[in-house]
Structure formats: C-alpha cells, structure tokens
Amino acid sequence: MDLAAYLPVALMFILGVVFAAAAMLISWRIAPNNPSPEKLAPYECGIVPLQEPVERFPVKFYLVAMLFVIFDVEIIFLFAWAVRMDEFGWAGIASVGLFMLLLIETLGYVWKRGALDWNVASRARYRRVVAPEPEIEEAA
Amino acid sequence: MEDFIVAAVKTVIAFALLFTVVLLLVWIERRIVAFMQNRLGPTRAGPLGILQTLADGMKLLFKESMTPDRVEVWLYLAAPIMALVPAVLIFLVVPIGAPITIGGTEYTLQVTDLNVGVLYVLAMSSMAVYAIALAGWSSGSKYPLLGSVRSAAQMISYEAAMGLALVPVIMFNGTTSLAGIVEAQGATYFGFLPAWNIVLLPSFVVFVIAMFAETNRAPFDLVEAEQEIVGGFHTEYSGFRFALFFLAEYINLFNMSALTVVFFLGGWQGPVFGPTVLQWILPVIYFFAKTFAIVFLFIWVRGTLPRMRYDQLMGFGWKRLIPVSLAWIILAMIAVGIRRFGLPWA
C-alpha cells in the first residue's frame, strides 16, 4: 500500500479547512455586526414562528436511507469483482449474476410494498383505506 | 522530501485552478442563462463582466454574517467548511492532461493517482450530504430542516444509481484508477473512431442524470424550491458563510463535469501532433474543451427544463434509473464475458 499517494489528500484537506475557516474569520472581523431580536429569529416570511422547528419528519426518509445502504454495499461488492473480472471468468459472472438477481428481487419486493411510492394517492394502503375504488355493480 | 514538495506544489496549483475555474464558471452560467432568456446578464465588472463573481465574493465578505439565536453554533459554523472540503478533495484525482517529462523526470498532470480513484470519488461525493444535513438540522428553523432532509434523501438515492452506472466502466477498463481509465480509452476502433467509454451509452445517460441530482441542479433543484421551502438548507446562512456553500456547489459542478469526461469521453485523449510543448498543451485543451461542453449541457438544461415534483424525483430515481442500471449491468456483464471468455458452453 502506497500511503504517499494520500499525502496531497491530507494537504488539500488542511488547505480547504484553513481557507474556509480563515474566510469566515476575516468576514467576522471586517463585516458589521448589529444583531436585533427580530433579525435573529428563525426565518418565517415575516411573521413570528408558531411551531417548534424540530418536528418529526416522515419515516419514509429513514426507509430511503436504509435502502441506500443496501444498494451501496452492493455497489462496493460489484466494484471489487469488476476490477478483477478476467480472473474469475464465467464462474464469477454466474455468481455475481445470482447476487444481482437477489437484489433485484429485493427491489421488486420493496416496490410492491409501496416503499418507493412518494405520491400519497398512489399508495396501496391509501387506496385500500382512504379512497377505495368504487365497486362496479353487476347488472341484475 | 522532493516528493513532498511536488505534492505540495501540485495541491496549491489545483486549489488555485479550482477557484479560478469557479469564478469563470459562475460568470459563464449567468451570461449563458441570460442570453437564453433574452437578457444580457452581468456586463459591468471588468471586460464583458468577467470579474462579476469576484466583485460578488468581495461584497459578501463585507456583509454581516448573522447567527440566528436558535442555531447549534458549532455545527452551524462547521457545515460550510464541511461543504467546501469534499468539493476541493474530489478534484485531486482528476487527470487534466497527459504526463509530461522534464529533465528525465515524469510529472503527471494529476495531483495524485489513487488506485481506488472511483471509490474515492464516490466517498467524497457522499461526504457532501453531511454538510447539507447538518446545515439544515443545526439551523433550528423549519425550512432548512425540510430542505436538508429532502436533499439528503435525493442525493443518496441518486448516488446509488451513479455508482451502479460506473460498474460497467470498471468492467470495461479493468481499473479503478482515474488515470488508468483515461489511458484505457486511448485506443481506436477501425483506426479512426476513438474508443471512448461512451459506447456504454446507458451508463453514460444514467450517470449524467444522476449527476444533475447529485449537484442539486435543475431540473432536480428541489433543495432550493423557493415556493415551498424558501432557500432550503442555507436559508439561515448569510454573508461569507453562504458564499462557501455557493462556492462548493460550483466546484462540485465543475468536478462532476470533469468526471463525466474522464469516465465516458476519453479524458484528455485526442489527436496530438507538433513539437513537444504543443504535445503537452493539446491534451489539457482537449480536457477543458470537453469539460466545458458538459458544463454547457448543465446550463442548457437549467435554462430549458422546469423543476420536477418531489414524488416524481424519488420515483424516477428508484423506479427507473436503478432498475435500468441493474439490467444494463447484467447485459454488459454477459456481453463482456462472451467477448473475453467465449461462449460459456464452448
């Protein structure tokens, strides 16, 4: 492992942090600072905020994060195989193909369960409970 | 010691180059969008208004940076730094020209050639999510929070698609080093068609679409949907703290264009001729010409397409891009397999 290749990464990291911090510091020194209670209130289009800002947000966002972890780990595995693809031949392609079919099946399951539906009206549960489709009456 | 000096000089040059490019980029974008909308755009500062961005930056430096009383101060101050740092770090692995030889020593026109370049790029672009999530959360105000949660979900969704789009590229070129990927695209088909990775067309399309979402650009700029969430995650930021987010956004725009060129359009590859100096300069010119062509695409799309709705955005990412890239990986895998190892039963 060649750690010397990571030296510029460390240097650039320091350079970036120092630049950003210094710019903020300089701006803080030379810019005017006249705080007032109205100015320091959270932004709310001109009225006094009525609600606490940190509220609960929809669980779907957590769900997306979890799905992302699954797919990102898959990508790491695929990268590792793709670099050395020639060494594994058809056996490798078959194994990776099986692995990918399992993931496609996962995606299909999640999709079918409605985890990917962000439009409330198109969710299966909404259609079942809130707005069931009208039953067609059969002709007598 | 000499290695250290070379590394330090390259890093500083890369840093300066990025900021120069960004100053130009903001001006180019404002001018081109203005022309698309039948306006002139900035024309006063410097010739043709080219110094407008510098003037805006100086102005922001002298403007008051308020710290609203509901914020978590340390995270609030750290977020702009965390936005800028990953943006400048990505550029380190981008090769901007062919290696040049001076006095028997070969210098690569790339700050560092990491053998895990592609993973490094994906890792750094994930880090940008932290800045946005923390900026929104630490602001202690509802619009930044909504904007940041939205933006985080959007960025990680499209990042999955972006990573999947790169798998066929790596299969094709057999390396994750960016210099190696560009090197592998140097060959030609039939003696004249350049063997760029753009032949992996579905990958290219998915990558470009995901790139728009990753950089929070139109038509995926829901982070800053003014009608719904004011300024999004940077609503409570002012003065130079806001300028740092703005800089990071444009550095990312340039980085992503450069990466598209490296992965799919042959990087600095192009016909080289003439004396040695011309042979050094031409690849750099090719690289920047291709990169600015992609930048123009970004601006063109911004001037053309309306913003998507959030459920359309997430639906498009998960139900279209990811299945398409998965199917394309399987197809590419079988095609590359047949080409390299023959038919499985033969």
Residue A18: give its domain's CATH number: 1.20.58.1610
* Chain B residues whose beta carbon lies within 8 Å of the beta carbon of residue A27: 60-63, 65, 239-241
Task: Identify whether B63 is part of a domain.
Answer: no
Interatomic CA distance for residues B142 and B137, integer angstroms: 9
pLDDT (mean) for A70-95: 86
B147 and B95 share a domain?
yes
Q: How far apart are the C-alpha atoms of B310 and B283, rounded to whole Å?
A: 41
Say what the pLDDT of residue A51 is.
66
> Does a structural domain hold residue B236?
yes
Using a CB-CB cut-off of 8 Å, the residues of chain A touching B168 are: 82
Q: Within a domain: residue B270?
A: yes
Domain that holds residue B43: 1-54
pLDDT > 70 fraction of chain A, expressed in percent and rounded: 75
Distances (CA, A) of A79 to B19, B182, B335: 32, 18, 17
Residue B229, token pair as written in the block: 């969430």
Question: Cα(A81)–Cα(B337) distance, rounded to whole angstroms?
Answer: 13
B166 in the same domain as B135: yes
Range of the domain at A86: 3-139
Q: Which of A28-32, A99-103, B96-100 has the highest mean pLDDT?
A: A99-103
pLDDT tens-digit map of A41-72: 777 766 776 666 656 677 788 888 888 888 88
pLDDT more than 90, % of chain A = 2
- The answer, for A10 touching chain B at a CB cutoff of 8 Å, is no
Looking at residue A52, its pLDDT comes to 66
| Distance, CA of B214 to CA of A115 (rounded, Å) | 22
**Confidence at residue B207, expressed as pLDDT on a 0 to 100 scale:** 92
Are residues B84 and B19 part of one domain? no
Alpha-carbon distance B136 to B236, whole Å? 9
Give residue B213's pLDDT: 87
Judge if B337 and B277 occupy the same domain.
yes
Interface check for A3 against chain B (CB to CB < 8 A): the answer is no
For chain B, how many structural domains are there in total?
2
Judge if B155 and B238 occupy the same domain: yes
Q: Are residues B47 and B77 in the same domain?
A: no
- The H-assigned helical ranges of B46-116 are 52-61, 73-90
pLDDT at A140 over 60: no
Contacts of A41 in chain B (CB under 8 A): 68-70
With contacts defined as CB-CB under 8 Å, which chain B residues touch A87?
none
Indicate which of A29, A75, A100 best probes the interface with B, i.e. most B CBs within 10 Å of its own CB.
Answer: A75
Q: What is the pTM of this model?
A: 0.88
Query: Could you give the number of structural domains in chain A?
Result: 1
Cβ–Cβ gap A104/B323 under 8 Å: yes
B172 & B48 share domain: no
Based on the domain organization, do B207 and B259 belong to the same domain? yes
Residues B114, B10 share a domain: no
pLDDT at position A18:
92
Query: Tell me, what amino acid is at B233?
Result: F
pLDDT at position B172: 85
Residue B255: per-residue pLDDT: 92
Residue B201 located in a structural domain: yes
Residues (pLDDT < 50) of chain B are none
At B271-297, the pLDDT tens digits run 777 787 888 888 888 889 999 999 999
Residue A105 has pLDDT above 80, yes or no: yes
Q: In this model, does residue A123 exceed pLDDT 70?
A: no
- Please give the radius of gyration of chain B, using alpha carbons only, rounded to the nearest integer: 21
